[in-house]
Amino acid sequence: MELLGLYYYWIFAILLMTGFYAVIAKLNLIKKLLGLSLFQAAVFLLYITMGKVDGGTAPIFADGATEQLFSNPLPQVLILTAIVVGISTTALGLGIVVRIKEEYGSIEEHEILETDRQ
Partner 1 sequence: MYYAVTFALIVTMALALARALLGPTVYDRVLAVNMLGTKTVLLLAVITFLFGRPDFLDLALAYSLINFIGVLAVLEFFRGRARDEHPGDGGDR
Partner 2 sequence: MIVVFGVFLLTLLLITAFAIVRTPNLFVAVMLTGIFSLLLASNFFLLDAADVALTEAAVGAGISTVLFLGALALTAERETAPSSNRLIALLAVSVMVVAIIYATFDKPRFADPDAPVHRHVAPWYLEKTPDAIDIPNVVTAVLGSFRGYDTLGEVFVVYTAGIGVLFLLGKSTARRQEDLDDAPRGLRHYLIPRVVGRMLIPFILLFGLYVQFHGDYGPGGGFQAGALIAASIILYALLEGENRALRVLPRGLLTGLIAGGALLYGAVGVAGMLLGGKFLDYSLLADNPVSGQHVGILLIEAGVGITVTGVLLSIFHAFAARGRF
Interface positions, 18-47, toward partner 2 (CB under 8 A) = 18-22, 24-28, 30-31, 34-35, 37-38, 41, 44-45
Contact in structure between 34 and 21 (CB atoms under 8 Å): no
Of 41-80, binders to partner 2 (CB under 8 A) are: 41, 44-45, 48-62, 69-80
Of 7-26, binders to partner 1 (CB under 8 A) are: none
Residue 48 touches which of partner 2, partner 1, none (Cβ within 5-8 Å per kind): partner 2
Kindly tell me which of 58 and 85 has the beta carbon lying closer to partner 1. 58
Q: How far is CA 60 from the centre of its chain?
A: 25
Contact in structure between 115 and 47 (CB atoms under 8 Å): no
The piece of 23-31, 45-53, 58-66, 82-90 that touches partner 1 (CB under 8 A) is 58-66
H/E stretch holding 56: none
Within a 10 A sphere around the Cβ of 52, how many other Cβ atoms?
A: 12
Residues 6+ apart with CB under 8 A from 47: 75, 78, 79
Residue 24 touches which of partner 2, partner 1, none (Cβ within 5-8 Å per kind): partner 2
Q: How far apart are CA 76 and CA 31, in angstroms?
A: 28
Among 58, 69, 85, 98, binds partner 1 (CB under 8 A): 58
